[in-house]
Amino acid sequence: MALDRFLLALLEDPVDHGELLYVPSDNVLYNPRRRVVYQVRDSIAVLLPDECREATDAEHLSWTNDPGAVRTGR
């Protein structure tokens, strides 16, 4: 299930406080500046620094060029 547009407008990275990319096709939130991935589980964004993981080069390219990705914080 996709994240709500209202919620997306409020979300930011908990470490650098910048915007994230929500990638609905993979159901993740991605920070391209830090290259870290946060999971979305049962429509809940898991924005815990201890639970994020590094993105691969392929994921970074795919997600930053994905026309369906939505920027948060707007």
Q: What pTM, to 2 d.p., does this model score?
A: 0.92
CATH of domain 5-71: 2.20.25.10
The encoded tokens of residue 73 equal 């914080």
Sign of CA dihedral 48, 20, 68, 6: positive
Task: Tell me the per-residue pLDDT of 9-54, one tens digit each, with 9 for 90 and over.
Answer: 999 999 999 999 999 999 999 999 999 999 999 989 999 999 999 9
pLDDT of residue 1 exceeding 90: no
Report the distance separating Cα 74 and Cα 61, nearest Å: 23
Average pLDDT over residues 63-70: 96
Q: How far is CA 36 from CA 6, 26, 52, 53, 72, in A?
A: 23, 14, 6, 5, 15
CB 16 within 8 A of CB 33: yes
pLDDT of residue 74 exceeding 70: no
**So what's the pLDDT on residue 3?**
82
